[in-house]
Every structure is written in C-alpha cells, then in structure tokens.
Amino acid sequence: MTTSAVPVAAPVPGRERRRAMTLLMSACVVLVVGMVAAVNLAVPKLAAGGLRPSRTELLWAVDAYVLVFGCLLIPAGALGDRFGRKGTLLAGLALFAAGCLLTAAAPTVPVLLAGRLVTGAAAALIMPATLSLLLQVTEPAARPQAIAAWTAATGVAGAVGNLAGGAVLQWLPWQALFLLGVPAALLLAALVARLAPRGERHPADLDLPGAALLTLALFALLFGIIEGPERGWASPLVLGAFGGAALLLAAFTAHALRAAHPLLDPRIFADGGLRAGVLGVGAAFFGLFALFFVNAQFLQYVKGYSPLVTGIAIGPLVIGMLVVSRRSVGWAARIGRRTVVALGLASLAAGLGLLSTADAATPYPLYALFLTIMAVGMGLCVPSLSVGVMAALPPSRAGLGSGLNGAARELGSALGVAAIGTVLGARLGTGHAASGGRAFADATAAGFRVVALVVLVLAVVVAAGLRERTRGHTE
C-alpha cells in the first residue's frame, strides 16, 4: 500500500509561512519529547523533597508519562485524521499545560502520578498532529525535507531536554520544571491557533474495539519492558505482562483482519519499506535513549560535572543531528536510501562502541567527537526511515503514519533504557568493579557495547528489508 505525492486540499502557503510552521511543529515536538529526558534530572530533588516518594514511586513518576505517551500514539493519530489535526493539537497542548500544572502542584504522590498520566496522554495527542499539519502545508516536492526537519526535532529533543532541565534544576526546585511547561504549552497553542491552517478531516474509522486492544497490548508490552530491569526479566509480573501483550496483539490482529475499517491494517506490513522503516526508527532510538539514560549520570558521577555543565556537554549531539538531518534526504536521493540508512545505523553503533572506551581520564573533546559520530548516524538514518513509513500509507492516514512512527520511537527508546539499565544493574550488583565512579564507568562501558551490538545487528536486518523493497520495485 504505497503512495507518491500527498494531495493538499488547501492552498499551499508561502515559503515564510511554511518555515514558521516547520519551526512551530518542531517546537511542539521538542516540548513533549524533551520532557522525557528532562524529568530524569529531577529525580534526585524529587526524592529529597517533601513528597518522600518510594523507589517504586520514583520509577513511575518517570515512566507513567512514557507509558501513556507510547500506548496512545496510534489511536491519537487516527483521532486527528477523523476530527481534524489542528483541533487535536490544540486540545493536546491545553491538556499538556493542565497536566504540568497538576504535577507541579501535587500535594501527594498519587496526584503527582495522575499529573504525569494526563501529560502523557496530551503528548500522544500532540505528536501525530504536528507531522500531519506540517505535511498539509508543504508542497509534495518539499515533503521529504519537512519530514527530515520533524524527525531531527524528535532526535534533538532529548538533548534539549537534558540542557533545559539541567539549567532549571541547577538553581530551582523540581516543581519549576513542570511549571515552566505550562506557559510553554499555552504559548505554542496560541501560535498554532494563529498560524496553522484548519486541519483536513478524513472519514477514518476510529475502530474503538481495535484501538482498545492495541492500546492494552502496547501498555502490557511497555509495562514489561519498564519493569524488567527493576523486578527481573523472569519475574511472574514481567512474564505475565509479556504474555498478556502477545495475547492482546494476537486478538488485535484477528480483529483487524476481519474489520471493514481497522485502526491499523496488519497487511500494510507486507510493504518491506514500512517494515524496515518501523524497525529502523526503533533501532535508532534504542541506541539514542540508551545514551540519554546513562550520559547525565556518567558526566556527573564519573566526570564530576554539574547538572548545567552536563546539559551543555550534550551540545555536539544536538548540532550534529540538526546539520546532518537537513542534508540526509538529498544524499538518499543521490546514493540510495538503503545506503544512507545503513551508514547511519552503522555510525550510531560505532559511536556507542567508542563511548564504551570513555572513563574519568577521557578528555571532553574526545567524548564530544564520539557524540558527534552518534549524531551523524541519527541524522543520516532517521529522516529516510520516517519518509519510508509515511510514504507507505495513504494521505488520509497521515496521522496514523505519524503515530506509527512515534510508537516505534517510544518502544525503541523504552527498550534501549531497559537494555542498558539491565546491564548496569547486573554489573554494579556483582561487585565486579571497584566502588564509586570507576564501577559506574565500567558498567556503562559494558552497557554501551551490548547496545552497539544490537544496533549493528538490526542495521543488517533493516538494510536487507530495504533491499527487498528495491528489488520489488525493480520487478
């Protein structure tokens, strides 16, 4: 199920307005994805604050947002297709502000967790609508570049979250991080109301039974991934979550194959480009968020940096992704998407492997070079992969395509955090290394090597999938 140009019902706005829309939609992405990274920096202050959360409650203060965000992306994308993307985006931004306010003002831990759940649901409404609206105001020839800019924003958002979170938490309490999210979301909502066109509506069936089955399946899967490092991968709760996810996915597939208008037709995955795109996006963010999970801790515990300096130190990753993403689609057109994607994932794995050699004695310029190699890899592969996913779906399901992109990213991110967290827990729990910063550096190195190997294996699988698609088109 492929499509070439996406028709636009409304007149194409001028170049300046398109540029403004690109910046605005990217800012919305940075807000919701950056919050994932920023909240990790707030954990020490939250733990020492007046709410006195337990270790498990701290874990869920971080993960509740990711869990709801990832689970609702695909249904939220379909919702925007049906009822209009601009309205969905405005509702999401308003709900995001409310969730941040509830979190900051929480008098108890349950209220705090409720605020995080609300904010995660809002993020799911925001993400798919941003890409759909951006494509609506962009002429067909420029759409690959628009997707590249959007995907670059998803990549740099984690680094921006680290930088902004570090700057805020250097001097202010943890509540300030969420309070600042309120005016940011409201300002973006005002700009969307002014600049964004009325979102197109399409007769997309919401398929409520299918949406419920898929949401519950993703919830069980993400729950198992998140809880695995903490409870142990063989614990009954984790195994039960994975078993439940498998059963629910099987039920969703059976329902979708029978339904006249399913939320997500499993037959679309017969398209090799779509399969490779979804797997490749997941693989890229698997590697990136494994880095985000340990980078701040490494720079603070091992290198002795402050939270602010730690946020600034991630700068090469941001700059590298922005620079390369702008050019990657053009390179893909010249030398082939498969080549660019393979080089990108290989560079990402190489950067992770090089980071595994870093320790307290590693000079920062060398560490920055390793981050830059990772940035080049992300900038090369993610735009082309996302273009492939969006091109495999009809124009009326642009929101669903964006949601599918986002779901792959969130699952990959969660798996990356779980994988490196498991390795860290195993190495630090065995007494393998000396205590203190050296132990953490050794455990981090082992984690990076594991994640790099996984990314490299997935790169081979993705490249093979793209080759199959190329042969199919040739034939």
Pair 389, 280: CB distance under 8 Å: no
Residue with tokens 């700009």: 191
Amino acid at 203: P
User: How far apart, in whole angstroms, are the C-alpha atoms of residue 295 and residue 289?
Assistant: 9
Q: Which comes out higher in pLDDT, residue 144 or 353?
A: 353
How high does pLDDT run on average in the chain? Answer: 85
Tell me the mean pLDDT in the region 314-319: 86
Give the Cα separation of 45 and 50 in Å (integer). Answer: 10
- Tell me what the mean pLDDT of segment 236-241 comes to: 94
Q: What is the pLDDT of residue 200?
A: 63
Is the separation of the CB atoms in 148 and 326 below 8 Å?
A: yes
How do residues 423-458 score in pLDDT, each as one tens digit? 888 887 644 434 467 888 888 999 999 999 999 999
pLDDT digits (tens, 9 = 90+) for 145-174: 888 888 888 878 877 887 888 788 888 899
**pLDDT the model gives residue 165:** 83
pLDDT at 386 over 70: yes
Do 397 and 357 contact (CB within 8 A), yes or no? no
Ranges assigned E (strand) in 408-458: none
Mean pLDDT, residues 43-50: 82
Q: Which own/partner contact pairs does 238-243 have at CB distance under 8 Å and 24+ positions apart?
A: none
Q: The whole model's pTM is what?
A: 0.82
Q: Where are the domains of the chain?
A: 15-206+263-474, 207-262
Q: Roughly how many angstroms between the first and final C-alpha of the chain, as a whole number?
A: 16
Amino acid 104: pLDDT: 95
Look up tokens 């306010």; give the residue.
101
DSSP helix/strand/coil, 37: helix
Q: What fold does the segment set 15-206+263-474 form as a domain? A: Growth Hormone; Chain: A; (1.20.1250)
Q: Whole-angstrom Cα distance, residue 346 to residue 456?
A: 6
* Predicted local confidence at residue 394, as pLDDT: 72
